[in-house]
A and B are shown apart, each in its own frame.
Chain A
Amino acid sequence: MDRRKFLQLSGAGLGVSMLPLSGNLVAESKLTQSGIDLSVKKEFADVALNTATKLGATYADVRIGRYLNQYVITREMKVQDVVNTESIGMGIRVIANGTWGFAATNDLTADGVARATRQAVATAKANSKYQQEPVQLAPVKGHGEVSWQTPIQKNAMQIPLADKVDLLMDVNKSAMDAGASYINSMLYLVNEQKYFASTDGSYIDQDVHRLWAPFSVTAVDKKTGGFRTRQGLSQPVGRGFEYLDGRAEDKIQAQTVLYRDSYDMAEDARLAAQQAKEKLTAKSVKPGKYDLVLDPSHLWLTIHESVGHPLELDRVLGYEANFAGTSFATIDKWRSGKFQYGSDKVNLFADKVQPGSLGAVGYDDEGVKTRNWDLVKDGVLVNYQATRDQVHMLGQKKSHGCCYADSWSSVQFQRMSNVSLLPGKEELSVDDMIKDVEKGIYIVGAGSFSIDQQRYNFQFGGQLFYEIEDGKITGMVEDVAYQSNTQEFWNACSQVCDKDDYRLGGSFFDGKGQPMQTSAVSHGSSTARFDGINVINTKRKLG
């Protein structure tokens, strides 16, 4: 049983969010128990691989997964929901007659595994009737028996629920004490225990941990009928519970406190309450062209939408045309070797290895050892993100390692890697950057986002907006959104701060595919400046 459910949260006012949730609902104690024994996993994997080979498959890979989730959902001084899930099963993917076939089962017995394998081979053979080009896999040398674990200090699944509830109640109290009208806060914890084996000779055991602690504070002015929200500045991370330690050395004192490798949720909630109230009376922005100074807590989303997605090779080729869309970054532009994606200050790289990032794993879901590679070098488009069966279309021989499935029951496919902006080479602080801006806006935190299906035209909001006049921040402004075109925007990048300012942001529930699968991915950057960007005023009055 692995039913995909959607937990609807309406408590957060109008920002209705749908959380993907799969697996059996289990007791908290299940989350701390160890998973399937390694030798048992190898035994089942061999049953699948041998059965597939005997039935004529030319390649097979098997993923045996135990997926644990814990969601803790609160508002003000109430716990609204605690959800613990566990999902265990196996997915088998084969190539037969040059065509992919996939099947999955939660019947983890030798018979169950063999039955699913037969289904996968039969599906491959049936689908081969409609196949126009046989699958070509980039070679991967078997890795033998290896393992990898997210480098965590405190396993979040092992922290007692009562401590998590206490933490969120402290967070909510600090917001309410600071004058918030409402606060919704959550903890999302994920542990993927994944075992991968393939006919290439790999047996890979991985233990992947992710965590996200978002909140939304609302301030209401009953007299005017106005209200404003400020969301938390925490980032989803590939770290343990230590991320919530909020160490002093990880704090950056700016217009608000910004966070590096750990996060002080209660402090941010207090500041959020103060700022939500400040937003109620902040000046409404005058529309026009501004130089934007974008903090990494904001810029990650712009990178995600305008670089990460358009450089996914399956989108470029048209495989996602009916859902996510295609891409402006077509093969001919890449092949020219001259497509100026951004200014010469812009270096964007993909990776699956940055410590603390959501995308970091030892090996992807088709057994490729992870690495990093350039996407945009000195402003020029140089590569895409691709899987083993795609890189040959680029004339490349090595997969980028971008294959991922969100469950043992989902078929793996190309997903975004971490995509990040390289810090500037020259020493440059945020203060120094702002000093040179005559008319600008400094934006912190991610807000509303929308981009077209080929990733040209976008519009982004944010959480906090500060007007810059003649090199100085003069105060908060509201009703800000900026619109641009991807290529124009990245070519307007005039400065990127140095590596001391480099921080990761990320998306915990990125959706793609039909049926839809979620994945989590990080985007790093230092604060960057973009000149002459069109800012609109979003204030409207209803009758």
Chain B
Amino acid sequence: MAILSRSEAKRILDKVLKYSRADEASAQLAGSETGNIRYARNSVSTSGIVNDIELAVEARFGKKSGVATINEFSDASLEKVMRRAEELAKLSPENPEAMPMLGPQKYVSVDGFAKSTADITPDQRAKAAADSIIAAKEKKVVAAGYLEDQRSFAAVATSKGLFGYHASTSANFTVTMRTENGLGSGWAESDVTDFGAMNTGSTSSVAIDKAVLSQEAHALEPGKYTVILEPNAVSGLVGYMMSGFDARSADEGRSFMSKKGGGNRTGEKMFDKRVNFYSDPTSLDVPAQPWTDDDFMQLGRIEWVKNGVVKNLARSRYWAEQSKGEVVPEPNNLIMVGGDKSTEELIKNTRRGILVSRTWYIRMVDPQSMLLTGLTRDGTFYIENGKIKYPVKNFRFNESPVIMLNNIEDMGVPQRVGMWGISAMIPALKVRDFTFSSLSDAV
């Protein structure tokens, strides 16, 4: 029941919109089956499957809007949910920023559904966990991990003739390996569309190696270092920065993207010329829903940064009207262009530096400069003359990703990572003068 076909979904959406007496109406039908298995201390702790399907209906009278949801689809239920949305709309305060609903959109075709993920069984989930636990036990380390897989669909329609359907699958696996003496810790992630491409055993081996190698870390003085940040170390900083690629907050003067004297920094070269960011729902690496969540606007390729120059900031339809700018929809994925080197090659070309496997607990310190703080975690190593010399204690950093992206020395091959609820392609980066402000005893 959770995954409906295009025609089944369209039939329900057409019917519910027919009941509308409002000025405008829209409907979104979304269903998913999500499975998970969690383990810690080399033992499975919880597992579960959640089936869910929901129809959300919005009714509009002028600038008054009401949303109601339901999970039954009989004719009577469909009429009821539309009436409820209409009642809510009449009782709501006006939203002066409400924009008219959209008519037909041209959605690009996205191939984001893998049968192997759709057909996953509880036994496969248990085996995925067992492969990780067995690998851990063999090397005398302790595993804690989590696998979540999902098959889902979404269908959208408006009373103005818009209709779209998108089905997708995803699976995300993370694992933390800790040595029994508590002196070493490693982490690894696998984020895929196709469960067939996931190997929890080999992902676990990466984490195990880091755990074993990171034991008995040396303490280095905090300060400015050349660092090689692996993709999971880069993504937390970049995710924060991209959340600030918003025209409204920039135009309002409350963002690192604000321009002195008014306006925003679109068109300015703010980063090293090798920095390129874009979004594209048709990406084969990170396929994504081809419309925006809030108003179902069609998504295509959007350039955010090209050769270090800011090309676009997200701009809602309301803000585009107010600021007389172009609408730039919020994306559902992010791609940072990288280089062609492996992390090993980046290490090989480094005379002195620090390899950072992962960054964690990142928080905004000053939005004016996009200054972030956070910590390294699960494998931090000192590099000398092209080789990992020894593990080092974790650091706290205070650094702005804007400054970081001006100090690039080299770039690795992008990898798929989970980032702020979306999937992204992010390369490893070699960066000079990265600011570590204190040491942490945490392993």
Bound Cα distance A451, B369 (Å): 21
Q: How far is the CB of B377 from chain A (nearest CB, A)?
A: 6
Q: Which residues of B contact A (CB under 8 A)?
A: 36, 38-48, 50, 52-54, 56, 67-71, 84, 87-88, 91-97, 122, 126, 129-130, 142, 144-146, 148, 174-176, 178, 182, 187, 243-244, 246, 249, 252-256, 258-262, 270, 360-371, 373-375, 377, 394, 396, 398, 400, 402-403, 406, 421, 437-443
Please report which residues of chain A, range 179-196, place their CB below 8 angstroms from some CB of chain B when the two chains form the complex.
Answer: 181-182
Known: A130-B44, A223-B261. A181 touches B145 (CB 8 A): no
Asked whether, in the complex, the Cβ of A483 is within 8 Å of the Cβ of B437, the reply is yes
Q: B182: which A residues are within 8 A, CB to CB?
A: 330
Q: Say if the beta carbon of A357 comes within 8 Å of chain B.
A: no
Least distance between A409 CB and chain B CB atoms (Å): 8
- With both beta carbons as reference points, the residue of chain A lying nearest to B68 in the complex is identified as A25
A541 lies within 8 A of B369 (CB):
yes
Tell whether, in the assembled complex, residue B126 and residue A226 are in contact, meaning their CB atoms are under 8 Å apart.
Answer: no
Closest-by-CB residue of A relative to B44 is: A130
| Nearest B residue (CB) for A324 | B361
Q: Tell me if A457 and B252 are in contact (CB < 8 A).
A: no
Could you say which residues of chain B place their CB within 8 Å of the CB of A222?
253, 261-262
Give bound CA distance, A80 to B142, whole Å: 48
On whether the beta carbons of A457 and B146 are closer than 8 Å, the reply is no
Give complex CA distance A318, B142 in Å: 9
Query: Is the CB–CB distance between A538 and B126 below 8 Å?
Result: no
B400 touches A542 (CB 8 A): yes
Q: List CB contacts (< 8 Å) of A433-459 with chain B.
A: 448-457, 459
By Cβ-Cβ distance, the 4 closest A-B pairs, closest first, are A225-B260, A1-B71, A457-B440, A321-B144
Please state if B45 and A82 are interface contacts (CB–CB under 8 Å). Answer: no
**Which residue from B84, B129, B366 sits with its C-beta under 8 Å from A540?**
B366
B371's contact among A82, A485, A538, by CB below 8 Å, is which?
A: A538
Q: Looking across the interface, which residue of chain B has its beta carbon closest to that of A85?
A: B69
Nearest A-chain residue to B54, judged by Cβ: A3
| Chain B, Cβ-Cβ closest to A483 | B438
Give, as a whole number of angstroms, the nearest-CB distance from A459 to chain B.
5
A321 in complex: contacting residue of B40, B243, B270, CB < 8 Å: B40
The minimal Cβ–Cβ distance linking A482 to chain B, given in whole angstroms, is 11
Select A454's contact among B87, B438, B443, beta carbons within 8 Å: B443
CA–CA, A237 to B43, complex, Å?
38
Known: A26-B68, A452-B361, A515-B148. A459 touches B95 (CB 8 A): no
CB-CB < 8 A to B38: which residues of A?
514
Asked if A28 lies at the interface with its beta carbon under 8 angstroms from chain B, I say yes
Is B403 within 8 A of A542, CB to CB? Answer: yes
Residues of B close to A514: CB separation below 8 A? 36, 38, 146, 148
Do B364 and A15 touch across chains, with their CB atoms under 8 A apart?
Answer: yes
**B377 A452 Cβ-Cβ under 8 A:** yes
With A182-B252, A218-B254, A322-B174 in contact, do A450 and B396 touch (Cβ < 8 Å)?
yes
Most buried by B among A326, A409, A459: A459
In the complex, the answer to whether A80 meets B252 with C-beta atoms within 8 Å is: no
User: What CA separation (Å) do A226 and B367 show in the bound complex?
Assistant: 10
Question: Are A24 and B69 interface neighbours, CB within 8 A?
Answer: yes
Q: Is the CB of B367 within 8 A of A14?
A: yes
Q: Is the CB of B441 within 8 A of A322?
A: no
- Asked, given contacts A14-B364, A25-B67, A318-B41, whether A80 binds B371 with beta carbons under 8 Å apart, the answer is no
The reply to whether A227 and B442 contact each other, CB–CB distance below 8 Å, is no
Q: Which residue of B lies closest to A454 (CB)?
A: B442
Chain A residues with CB below 8 A from B249, complex form: 10, 13-14
Residue among A224, A457, A485, A543 with max Cβ neighbours from chain B (10 Å)? A457
Tell whether, in the assembled complex, residue B442 and residue A452 are in contact, meaning their CB atoms are under 8 Å apart. yes
Contact yes or no, A319 B441, CB < 8 A: no
How far does the Cβ of B79 sit from chain A's closest Cβ, in whole Å? 16
Could you say which of B56, B146, B254, B403 contacts A13, with CB atoms under 8 Å apart? B254
Nearest chain A residue, comparing its CB with the CB of B369: A540
Which chain A residues border B42 with CB–CB below 8 Å? Answer: 132
Contacts of A127 in B (CB 8 A): 44, 46-47
Q: Give Cα A409–Cα B367 distance, bound, in whole angstroms.
A: 37
Residue of B nearest to A99 (CB): B44
Query: Cβ of A170: which chain B residues have Cβ within 8 Å of it?
Result: none
The residue on A at minimum CB distance from B364 is A448
Residue of B nearest to A30 (CB): B84
User: A248 contacts the other chain (Cβ, under 8 Å)?
Assistant: no
B93 x A79 contact (CB < 8 A): yes
Q: B84 contacts A322, CB within 8 Å?
A: no
By the criterion CB–CB under 8 Å, are A13 and B367 in contact?
yes
**Distance of A100 Cα from B46 Cα, bound (Å):** 8
Which among A82, A320, A452 has the greatest number of chain B C-beta atoms within 10 A?
A452
Would B442 and A453 count as touching, CB distance under 8 A?
yes
Q: Kindly state the separation between the CA atoms of A538 and B398 in the bound complex, as whole angstroms.
A: 8
Ordered by A's residue number, 29 sampled pairs between the chains whose C-beta atoms are within 8 Å are A6-B421, A10-B246, A10-B249, A14-B367, A18-B421, A25-B56, A80-B95, A123-B47, A127-B44, A130-B44, A130-B129, A130-B130, A227-B253, A318-B142, A318-B178, A321-B142, A322-B146, A322-B175, A449-B363, A452-B396, A453-B361, A454-B441, A454-B442, A457-B438, A457-B442, A485-B441, A539-B369, A540-B369, A540-B400
Whether A27 sits at the interface, judged by CB under 8 Å, is: yes
- B178 in complex: contacting residue of A227, A321, A481, CB < 8 Å: A321
B87 touches A457 (CB 8 A): no
Tell me whether B52 and A1 are in contact (CB under 8 A): yes
A351: interface (CB < 8 Å):
no
Residue of B nearest to A228 (CB): B368
> Which of A24, A80, A317 is in CB contact (< 8 Å) with B97?
A80
A181, B377: Cβ atoms closer than 8 Å: no
Q: Does A461 contact B (CB under 8 A)?
A: yes
Contact yes or no, B361 A451, CB < 8 A: yes
Given A14-B243, A459-B396, A181–B91 Cβ distance below 8 Å?
Answer: no
Residues A485-543 near B (CB distance < 8 A): 485, 514-515, 534, 536, 538-543
- The distance in angstroms between the C-alpha atoms of A305 and B296, with both chains bound, is 40
* Contact across chains for A319 and B41 when beta carbons are under 8 A apart: yes
Verify A452–B375 contact, CB threshold 8 A: yes
The answer, yes or no, to whether A46 is at the interface (CB within 8 Å) is: no
With both beta carbons as reference points, the residue of chain B lying nearest to A481 in the complex is identified as: B365
How many Å lie between the Cα of A538 and that of B126 in the bound state?
47
Q: Does A158 contact B (CB under 8 A)?
A: no
Cβ contact within 8 Å between A3 and B52: yes
Q: Mark A155-172, 1 if CB is under 8 A from B, else 0.
A: 000000100010000000
Known: A450-B362, A515-B148. A16 touches B421 (CB 8 A): no
Interface contact B368-A226, CB-CB below 8 Å? yes
Per-residue contact bits, chain A 9-23, to B (CB 8 Å; 1 contact, 0 not): 010011110100000
Residues from chain A with a CB closer than 8 A to the CB of B421 are 6, 18
Residues of A213-227 whose CB lies within 8 A of B: 218, 220, 222-227
Given contacts A25-B56, A479-B366, A481-B365, is CB(A457)–CB(B396) below 8 Å?
A: yes
Closest Cβ neighbor of A457 among chain B residues: B440
B255 touches A14 (CB 8 A): yes
Would you call B256 and A542 a contact (CB within 8 A)? yes
Q: Mark A449-477, 1 if CB is under 8 A from B, else 0.
A: 11111111101010000000000000000
